[in-house]
Structure 1
Amino acid sequence: MGASVGRREDPRLLSGRGCFTDDLEVPGTLHAQFVRATVAHATVTSLDLSAVRQVPGVVAAFDAEDLALADITARLGRPLTEFVPTGMPVLARERVRYAGEPLAVVVARDPYAAEDGVEAAKVTYETRPPVVSEEAALAPGAPLVHDEASANTLLDVSMFATEGIDDVFDEAPCVVRVETRTGRQNALPLETRGVLAGWDDREDQLLMRTSTQVPHQVRTTAARCLGLDERAVRVVVPDMGGGFGLKCVVGREEIAVGAAALRLDRPVKWIEDRKDALTASFLAREQHYDVRAAFDGDGRILGLDAGIVCDMGAYSCYPFTAGIEPLMASAEMPGVYKVPAYRVRARAVTTNKAPTAPYRGVSRPQYVMVMERIFERAARELGLGATEIRRRNLITRFPYTGVNNVTYDPGSYLESLNLCESALTEEGWYAAKEKAAAEGRHIGIGYSCFSERTGYGSGAFAQRKMEVVPGFDISEVRMDTSGALVVTTGTMSHGQSHETTMAQIAADELGLDIAQVRIHQGDTDRITYGWGTFASRSIAIGGSAVRLAAGKLGEKLKTIAASVLEVPAEELELGEGLVTHPAGGGSVAYQEIADIAYLRSHLLPKGAEPGLTATATFDVTGDGTFSNATHGAVVELHEGTGQVEILRYVCVEDCGVAINPKVVEGQTRGGIAQGIAGALFEQVTYDEQGAPSAVSFMEYKVPTAMEIPEVSIHHLETPCAFTETGAKGVGEGGTIGAPAAVINAVNDGLLHTGVELNDTPITPETVADALAATVPDAASAPAPAAARRAPRTAESPEHMEPTS
């Protein structure tokens, strides 16, 4: 552990020998595509599939009545009166709630005939007024997306109302207010969703090979929707080309394809096309924050008062529900800062858009951006430096229990900020900014300080009152007669290098060459149980389970070796494939021990069982662990075009013990690229009728290597006391910090204009207009902070309504 071992996956994947869902070929396979709603909100008055069934090559077409599947329903636990559950039908029945919602599945001999069949479907609608914005959803008398709900609010919670918080704001020398909106995004994995399902007569099982982050959750949901014993469903995940949270929920299409395979007794494959992936798959990120913060005259924060509204689309995702984004934001918004008083109201609203699923970072890119904008604005009003005001407020003594009742384990919050600022200063960027200003150019420098809560255990998820409570992980290690090791993990790699990092952990614990360790994941029949990969949990929780299991196997190796060497087991050491007595009592090779355990079990010591296997479970206790980082961005704003050019990007990260520093850097760079994408480029919008705007990459602006800068990464290491390896998670941090750093840098570059941008994505048109603005004259300039306060919307977050 700690070595930048080359990724073991790379030779296979880079040479084209990877096997993804669409690479799978099974004799007799049929191909599926879906008839999808063409309107955002309507009653389906008729669905005629007769012409579909006449299309050459089409084998069958099924609607909801044909398949009669149970709904997918995600719930928060009872009693939680603030949450409204809504069922998501596998195929829509008499009502459609977003453009792209699946109505029927068409099965054909090849993908082209399936597409032809979809076009032959005849659907008539009685349209209903669509709800396509937060304001429309919350308006009095708004049309209901779900008739069983009394309003379009699926979750409405008010939390942490510190006693006397109104007095804090009334008496504070400085109160600032920031309102932000973030655009709806697509997680955009390179491999779209897909599944190949078919019945296995030998095993008496429905075998579903699918691209998912949560194979055991797919198995459970498929069994329940299809009315099968869970034993009768096996989920296997091939190589996987990204997920980013989009694939950590259960999709309707994979269940429908499984049902079609059962009805036809033939294998059926569905591969999502890019148009459906962009418009009808799970989306994320559309959020609105209205936040006030009170500061004393020295720039120390006194209180935080927040209103949050998250547009969650038409349905709750399974298993996380529509509560995932507002609950994440409200519980963790204070972040790395010492906030003594806090109040928040958070709401999830439903609209006639594709539903929302977790996407890398889950609300943290948004609330971190809001918090960092708060500090930037307060620094300006109080005449403090942007980094100085942060230093006065960062948590520096650990463990620290925040006003949000979350306990933060030790981190390097101040150290990361200092190192990031030093790096940009020593590289001359502050001098370059001054020189550019003298030349009439516009360079800005922005920072983002944040923590990333990782390795959520069952206790943390239980606090959200989830009916399905993720948390633990299970690992089994098995040594064969050659002394090689097979390790199972309930996590699921889709680019995170688990084949390498998990092998490093096991090899390190047992003193093996990493080449002798094989990781097995993504098979519900071979892996006892697992929650999959999301929320940066894999190394923190899954890796801890691997180390514990390897440690148990190591003790068994010592027990058998002790009987061979006739020495106490506690005096033995593991290393280089040997059990050794360091005091000169000799050594025994693992292969010889395995030979005894399997082939000559009569030589085993009393009480030792044949074979060399061990199983362990791990669950993080308490509030989990927190990685942290500071990002620094340098941008140049170009007049006329409004282009935001990122000149330099520095990241100082601390994820505890880095199992593989190069893998950490890869995760960080990829995350930063996605964060920059959200800050400057990517957004799905809708017209007044609920039709999505971004139906291809012509409209959905994905950054390329030309727009993503070189990223300089510095490592700090604060080992975690709660995991077996000292590691914390790192999968989401890059995405969390990037939007705030970029938007702060842009606003620093615009400082002379008097214009401030708080919404993302920041468009070239917006920047060009801002650069064309003039600095306000003295008469219209903002009054000093001591002379004014940001208005409070009503008396408390319970009454805080969004503004347009």
Structure 2
Amino acid sequence: MTERRGTWVGSSVGRREDPRLLTGQGRFVDDIHLPQMLHAQFVRSTIAAGTVVSIDLSATLAVPGVVAAYTAADLDMGDITAILDRPASEFVQTDMPVLARDRVRYVGEPLAIVLAEDPYAVEDGLEAARVTYDADAPVVSDEVAMAPGAPLVHEAATGNVLVDVSMFATEGIDRIIDEAPCVVRVRAKTGRQNALPLETRGVVASWDARDEQLLVQTCTQVPHQVRTVMAGCLGLAERSVRVLVPDMGGGFGLKCVVGREEIAVGAACLKAGRPVKWIEDRRDALTASFLAREQRYDVRAAFDGDGRLLALDADIVCDMGAYSCYPFTAGIEPLMASAELPGVYKVPAYRVRGRAVTTNKAPTAPYRGVSRPQIVMVMERLFERAARELDMDPVEIRRRNLITEFPYTGINDVTYDPGSYLESLDLCERVLKDEGWYERRGAARSSGRFIGIGYSCFSERTGYGSAAFAKRKMAVVPGFDMAEIRMDLSGGVTVTTGTMSHGQSHETTLAQIVADRLGLDIAEVKIHQGDTDRITYGFGTFASRSATIGGSAVARAATALGERLLALGAHLLETTYDNVELDARRVRRRDDGRALSFEELADVAYLKAHLLPKDAEPGLTASATFDVHGDGTFSNAAHGAVVELHPGTGQIEILRYVCVEDCGVAINPQVVEGQARGGIAQGIAGALFEEITYDEQGEPSCASFIDYKVPTAGEIPDISVHHLETPCAFTESGAKGAGEGGTIGAPAAVLNAVNDALRPTGVELDDTPIRPETVQRALATIGVFA
């Protein structure tokens, strides 16, 4: 790690984005209006499975204001195909057509694109479309999908299991479990969720005749990957596609995959010869967009008599919907869960089988945390159950099993860098004890109230580099990132990064890194992102990689520019490189204090090139890349939740929530706390509220917020965030990622708190979301009624 040069990193400076966004000056996809622009929406399947007999758009084309309507047969497009380099026994490839052709595989699958002069005419055009189907019985659950003789979601496949991988089968694990003094088992299910960014997906495509480019303005986390897939599907050279991302209102992983609608809008623009805009409406966002989280676990854990974990045996099934997402494939959830289930605990023996099952539902994409909310929930339930079986304190049994010596290479072949696993748990428990919650719980029980305390301990692998993604055997291997920096004649700098902010404050935090490296004010640092023409390639923002990988690339580029400034300054000051230093926007001689300002150096670099050292190039620019050549770095945290159960309604009220987090060096602590609080809110949502279910015909239950219950500020408690700092040894600023941790830890802490409150009933809950009627039934077992 490079030593910090200034004081910006570690300071909670105000977000530079806020003045623009809070005064209505942000520019989002729906704010884009181009001359002759057409509005697009999609004719979508109304059945979950079947053959498309006919698509009649004649009435659509007769609707006033409708300009065109295209099916797959009208547009020249290739399929979107995501691949794992695994044998056929482990991975089954499923191509996703941009527009469905002869088959439909979920309600909401796009069949045709309609273009009109305004958003109202396009909706009328959709109503006039007529599609005839030969419906089939849909596959609506993983149990049905894996049953003998089940209908095939993909006729070309031999079954409905797309990924089936067994890993880490420790020799003798069955004997260890059979002979263990204590064996506990958790069977858990988690509900299907929507990532629900405030801004739905959207795209504006237009042809730039001067540059001979298709300009695609879209809200994506991965602009370069959209460019690559767009060019491939449309048969264009990559240089003929430019992806530009304006301000973006959230993504949470939903927007880190390539959607078929983006490609269809680009194809329709080329076909119609006019700009085309598509803004996803909320109904489509809830039912037909990428979903996540529907998983089922059957896990056994063996413990010795002192509460030390001996072995872990897991079977994991993930319902991935109809198709593999690009580029992660249907393996995104089961492979993550299988590789990282052991988490922060020492596991001597391990065996896991992870499967991805295809069903007639909207496909799955990454969602903040990707399987880690579930695996942490399962692991923490195992420890709670073992503590009860062994009559141990649930915090103490965790202490005996936490990793405390680093670096630690686990049974899962993952090496964990230093963290504060034990210290985080100790502080979290101490905060709740000092606030008197243990006494309040005891007093509540004696007066007939049901208050419980629950914990979760976890790590968050951040900064997955190429080596980590390569272990999944992805055909597209994300990992590295790039940054470019240039100084202008005013002495300020412009930085271009391959990462993409969708609310993470990159304009502030990345500027803090650069300002420290060069001795600038952050107001003198401009961050550019989300433009595929400004930087050769980048993998965008997901998996908490922006501060670790993107920030490190930015830091290296700034350092390289600083070295160019020092070399030029030493030459002009007639001294050696070792005798100069960066100091308050100057290059200063160490011996006599003579100095040249950045403006003076830039004047020579750009306007007086004849004064440059021999063989030096004009200008002040630099570029750098960064990759993590290992397993990444691990942030960690402990969460503590206090809940009260209300017998009359079965409602669960969160009285207190404490988060102790360690993300290494917090570049901007206020931003980190915002990430933690937002993530915890999403984790609470998954624990208590949000779920999309399907009826027997594959119709989704939640087409509006009346049915899809999203928590409001009234349901989210005050969250206390405490910081520990274990700097990362191999990122440039010592930072670890902080984007997903809140979501990862919250479901387990809430579920454990609910079970603690239910202890007098003898009922234990393992599934989420926890429904009020479930709580009511549990309390009824001891004679407590509404």
Same fold, TM exceeding 0.5? yes
Could you give the per-residue CA deviations for residues 357-394 of structure 1, whole angstroms, max 9, x where no partner exists?
00000000000000000000000100100100000000
Find the counterpart in structure 2 of residue 168 from structure 1.
Answer: 176
Q: 1:355-504 maps to which residues of 2 (within 5 A)?
A: 355-504=363-512
Instruction: Tell me by how many angstroms 1:567 deviates.
Output: 1.6
Query: Is the aligned partner of 1:323 residue 2:327?
Result: no
* SS of residue paired to 1:114: helix
* SS of residue paired to 1:634: strand
Whole-angstrom CA distance in 2 between matches of 1:662 and 1:556: 33
Find the counterpart in structure 2 of residue 142 from structure 1.
Answer: 150
Query: Is the aligned partner of 1:230 residue 2:238?
Result: yes
Whole-angstrom CA distance in 2 between matches of 1:412 and 1:133: 40
Query: Is the aligned partner of 1:116 residue 2:116?
Result: no
Q: 1:549-560 maps to which residues of 2 (within 5 A)?
A: 549-560=557-568
- Contact 1:451–1:629 at 8 Å: present in 2 too? yes
Instruction: Tell me by how many angstroms 1:771 deviates.
Output: 1.2
Find the counterpart in structure 2 of residue 53 from structure 1.
Answer: 61
Q: 1:584-733 maps to which residues of 2 (within 5 A)?
A: 584-733=592-741
Instruction: Tell me by how many angstroms 1:81 deviates.
Output: 3.6
Find the partner of 2:585 among 557, 566, 577. 577
Find the counterpart in structure 2 of residue 179 from structure 1.
Answer: 187
* SS of residue paired to 2:363: coil
* SS of residue paired to 2:108: coil
- Contact 1:491–1:531 at 8 Å: present in 2 too? yes
Question: For residue 553 of structure 1, what is the amino acid of its counterpart?
Answer: L
* SS of residue paired to 1:73: coil
Q: 1:540-555 maps to which residues of 2 (within 5 A)?
A: 540-555=548-563
Query: Is the aligned partner of 1:213 residue 2:218?
Result: no
Query: Is the aligned partner of 1:757 residue 2:728?
Result: no
- Contact 2:325–2:363 at 8 Å: present in 1 too? yes
- Contact 1:621–1:722 at 8 Å: present in 2 too? no
Whole-angstrom CA distance in 1 between matches of 2:572 and 2:87: 59
Query: Is the aligned partner of 1:335 residue 2:343?
Result: yes
Whole-angstrom CA distance in 1 between matches of 2:580 and 2:332: 49
Instruction: Tell me by how many angstroms 1:775 deviates.
Output: 9.2
Instruction: Tell me by how many angstroms 1:78 deviates.
Output: 4.7
RMSD (CA atoms)? 0.9
Equivalenced residue count is 776
Which deviates the most, 579-588 or 181-190? 579-588
- Contact 2:640–2:658 at 8 Å: present in 1 too? yes
Instruction: Tell me by how many angstroms 1:695 deviates.
Output: 0.2
Question: For residue 260 of structure 2, what is the amino acid of its counterpart?
Answer: R
- Contact 2:343–2:458 at 8 Å: present in 1 too? yes
Whole-angstrom CA distance in 1 between matches of 2:783 and 2:731: 53
Whole-angstrom CA distance in 2 between matches of 1:647 and 1:583: 61
- Contact 1:567–1:585 at 8 Å: present in 2 too? no
Find the counterpart in structure 2 of residue 11 from structure 1.
Answer: 19
Find the counterpart in structure 1 of residue 6 from structure 2.
Answer: none
Question: For residue 140 of structure 1, what is the amino acid of its counterpart?
Answer: P
Question: For residue 635 of structure 2, what is the amino acid of its counterpart?
Answer: S
Find the counterpart in structure 2 of residue 65 from structure 1.
Answer: 73
- Contact 1:565–1:585 at 8 Å: present in 2 too? no
* SS of residue paired to 1:653: strand
Whole-angstrom CA distance in 2 between matches of 1:570 and 1:292: 61
Could you give the per-residue CA deviations for residues 4-34 of structure 1, whole angstroms, max 9, x where no partner exists?
0100000000111000000011111000000
Whole-angstrom CA distance in 2 between matches of 1:690 and 1:195: 28
Which deviates the most, 767-776 or 430-439? 767-776
Could you give the per-residue CA deviations for residues 507-556 of structure 1, whole angstroms, max 9, x where no partner exists?
11000011000000000001111000000000100000000000000000
Whole-angstrom CA distance in 2 between matches of 1:211 and 1:735: 22
- Contact 1:624–1:722 at 8 Å: present in 2 too? no
Whole-angstrom CA distance in 2 between matches of 1:240 and 1:532: 13
Whole-angstrom CA distance in 2 between matches of 1:127 and 1:571: 79
Find the partner of 1:739 among 743, 747, 757. 747
Whole-angstrom CA distance in 2 between matches of 1:679 and 1:610: 58
- Contact 1:373–1:744 at 8 Å: present in 2 too? yes
- Contact 2:332–2:366 at 8 Å: present in 1 too? yes
Find the counterpart in structure 1 of residue 209 from structure 2.
Answer: 201
- Contact 1:30–1:108 at 8 Å: present in 2 too? yes
Find the partner of 1:87 among 84, 91, 95. 95
- Contact 2:89–2:164 at 8 Å: present in 1 too? no
* SS of residue paired to 2:189: strand
Whole-angstrom CA distance in 2 between matches of 1:45 and 1:25: 37
Find the partner of 2:166 among 158, 165, 171. 158
Find the counterpart in structure 2 of residue 25 from structure 1.
Answer: 33
* SS of residue paired to 2:266: helix
Instruction: Tell me by how many angstroms 1:582 deviates.
Output: 3.0
* SS of residue paired to 2:464: coil
Unaligned 5+ segments in structure 2 are 1-8
Could you give the per-residue CA deviations for residues 99-142 of structure 1, whole angstroms, max 9, x where no partner exists?
00000000000011001001101101100010000111011000
TM-score normalised to structure 1 length: 0.96
Instruction: Tell me by how many angstroms 1:584 deviates.
Output: 2.2
Find the counterpart in structure 1 of residue 3 from structure 2.
Answer: none
Query: Is the aligned partner of 1:562 residue 2:570?
Result: yes
Find the counterpart in structure 2 of residue 785 from structure 1.
Answer: none
* SS of residue paired to 1:72: coil
- Contact 1:512–1:575 at 8 Å: present in 2 too? no
Instruction: Tell me by how many angstroms 1:746 deviates.
Output: 0.3
Instruction: Tell me by how many angstroms 1:80 deviates.
Output: 5.7
- Contact 1:43–1:94 at 8 Å: present in 2 too? yes
Question: For residue 127 of structure 2, what is the amino acid of its counterpart?
Answer: E
Whole-angstrom CA distance in 2 between matches of 1:360 and 1:541: 18
Whole-angstrom CA distance in 1 between matches of 2:775 and 2:698: 28
Find the counterpart in structure 1 of residue 293 from structure 2.
Answer: 285
Find the counterpart in structure 2 of residue 783 from structure 1.
Answer: none
- Contact 1:453–1:625 at 8 Å: present in 2 too? yes
- Contact 1:752–1:775 at 8 Å: present in 2 too? no
Find the counterpart in structure 1 of residue 5 from structure 2.
Answer: none
Find the counterpart in structure 2 of residue 130 from structure 1.
Answer: 138
* SS of residue paired to 1:675: helix
Instruction: Tell me by how many angstroms 1:565 deviates.
Output: 1.5
Whole-angstrom CA distance in 2 between matches of 1:183 and 1:700: 12
Whole-angstrom CA distance in 2 between matches of 1:566 and 1:68: 63
Whole-angstrom CA distance in 2 between matches of 1:377 and 1:664: 33
Find the partner of 2:277 among 269, 275, 289. 269
* SS of residue paired to 2:710: coil
* SS of residue paired to 1:646: strand
Whole-angstrom CA distance in 1 between matches of 2:148 and 2:469: 34
Query: Is the aligned partner of 1:190 residue 2:222?
Result: no
Instruction: Tell me by how many angstroms 1:621 deviates.
Output: 1.2
Question: For residue 693 of structure 2, what is the amino acid of its counterpart?
Answer: T
Question: For residue 115 of structure 2, what is the amino acid of its counterpart?
Answer: V
Find the partner of 2:518 among 510, 514, 518. 510
Whole-angstrom CA distance in 2 between matches of 1:473 and 1:775: 60
TM-score normalised to structure 2 length: 0.98
Could you give the per-residue CA deviations for residues 709-746 of structure 1, whole angstroms, max 9, x where no partner exists?
11000000000012111100010000000000000000
Whole-angstrom CA distance in 2 between matches of 1:176 and 1:448: 18
